[in-house]
Structure 1
């Protein structure tokens, strides 16, 4: 299938970047308030996908994003939901804890989403590109080549560089891996804003996003913490249908396991995020 790439042209002013809302309505509500406080227009609010995920309110989260008017690309979860697939397509190792947990939250999400929400999710492009402060920027979920590819800061630059070559981009905005980071090399920047639906395995219940700023006529970016009503999000997840371990992670900021993480990122569990 040919990729659907939405070209936004030239964007100016602040740009809000986020990913992985993961059905966490409380986090998305808090982020929308940030955008309004910062006077960031909805067309400048961009998601790397996986609007639906581990938390308790998939339908409400999708509808809020739609009402807000922020833009998103397809994550692997949206693709699987669109195609009526039986699994989340997260590329978890078969039989792993993450794989077993997905057999709870994914069918739960499927059962809660309206046809209106499924149609909306299906309308997302595979990628978004735009020009900003004299740079070409492309959004990917995992990578340009594989929506479910896990790319971390410690991933070799050779893995990342192919994405810049293929898209002719100066900046790649990535998602999927759940951790905020940036990696610069050869005047290129790989920027993952982090996700808002789950904490970053750093021992803190707050979550992460990023803001681009061109106010001084140059390209600048900054990662930001997002505080939200995580206690309510966790309580709603304790419904007997979703993994209790994920409800606990929402409160502790520590992942139940580090199966998907490379050794470097796994070793940083609970030590906070250094950017």
Structure 2
């Protein structure tokens, strides 16, 4: 695998972190407005990948992302799309419900993306690194070693730690698993800002992102929820081509299944998230 990494150098000021836009144009529009309201420049807005995914407007979403000028790494979906692969590369168990759903939304996304959008996806790196408040930060999708690896808060630190060693980082910012969390051990922080394209299985249609703040030259972060026009997103998904279960999740905030989740995270379904 190409180990392409983009080093942004030193970043200062508020920085917006998010992932999993999943072709959800309404959520991306709302997040862009948040960035503008907070005076966060596009170059300080960083996505953990999977700009394309489950929702109904892949082409419009990629084009808005490109127009905005935010930064992103590739998710497994971008890798598969730009290689014209036959599946999403999500590492779902064969025959699972998620696998079955992916056989609907992935070819739908393939059919909608223009050559211009595919060429934009070709420009995205596998990793982004930068320095923030004297911390070395690396942005990965699943993990540094496997773009499709599901890493959760309950995932053992022994599985997370090699990522810090391999990248010489104090902070790993990751995506892919769909849930926001942070896990700190001594001076090392694993931070998942969550995704904006789908709710976090917490029984709420709002979605999650994070903001870094280097006030007083210290590394601070906050998890934030995003309100957006989820009813329109859900309605657009009811097109007879995408999984109806996903359009329901957009409204209910509850995942159709918890196949990918460890026992701890699965047991928290619908209980809300306090971060």
TM norm. shorter chain > 0.5? yes
SS in 2 for 1:103: helix
Matching of residues 26-37 of structure 1 within 5 Å: 26-37=26-37
**Count of paired positions:** 275
Deviation at 1:215, TM superposition (A): 1.7
Unpaired runs of 5+ residues, structure 2, are: none
Residue 60 (structure 1) aligns with: 60
Residue 95 (structure 1) aligns with: 95
Deviations 1:58-96 (A, max 9, x none): 000000000000010000000000110000000000000
Matching of residues 158-197 of structure 1 within 5 Å: 158-197=158-197
Paired with 2:216 and 2:63, the residues of 1 have a C-alpha distance of 35
1:50 maps onto 2:50 in alignment: yes
Residue 262 (structure 1) aligns with: 262
Paired with 1:68 and 1:52, the residues of 2 have a C-alpha distance of 16
Deviation at 1:147, TM superposition (A): 0.1
Residue 72 (structure 1) aligns with: 72
Paired with 1:216 and 1:202, the residues of 2 have a C-alpha distance of 34
Deviation at 1:217, TM superposition (A): 1.5
* Runs of 4+, deviation exceeding 3 Å: none
Unpaired runs of 5+ residues, structure 1, are: none
Matching of residues 146-161 of structure 1 within 5 Å: 146-161=146-161
Paired with 1:216 and 1:10, the residues of 2 have a C-alpha distance of 16
Paired with 1:209 and 1:255, the residues of 2 have a C-alpha distance of 18
Residue 208 (structure 1) aligns with: 208
Deviation at 1:272, TM superposition (A): 0.3
Paired with 2:210 and 2:222, the residues of 1 have a C-alpha distance of 5
Paired with 2:197 and 2:204, the residues of 1 have a C-alpha distance of 13
Deviation at 1:186, TM superposition (A): 2.3
Residue 23 (structure 1) aligns with: 23
* RMSD (Å), alpha carbons: 0.5
Paired with 1:14 and 1:87, the residues of 2 have a C-alpha distance of 36
Deviation at 1:122, TM superposition (A): 1.2
Moved more, 208-217 or 221-230: 208-217
Residue 198 (structure 2) aligns with: 198
Residue 220 (structure 1) aligns with: 220
Residue 83 (structure 2) aligns with: 83
Paired with 2:216 and 2:258, the residues of 1 have a C-alpha distance of 40
Paired with 1:228 and 1:39, the residues of 2 have a C-alpha distance of 19
Residue 140 (structure 1) aligns with: 140
Superposition TM-score, scaled by structure 2 size: 0.99
Paired with 1:26 and 1:106, the residues of 2 have a C-alpha distance of 19
Residue 13 (structure 1) aligns with: 13
SS in 1 for 2:217: coil
Superposition TM-score, scaled by structure 1 size: 0.99
Deviation at 1:207, TM superposition (A): 0.0
SS in 2 for 1:209: strand
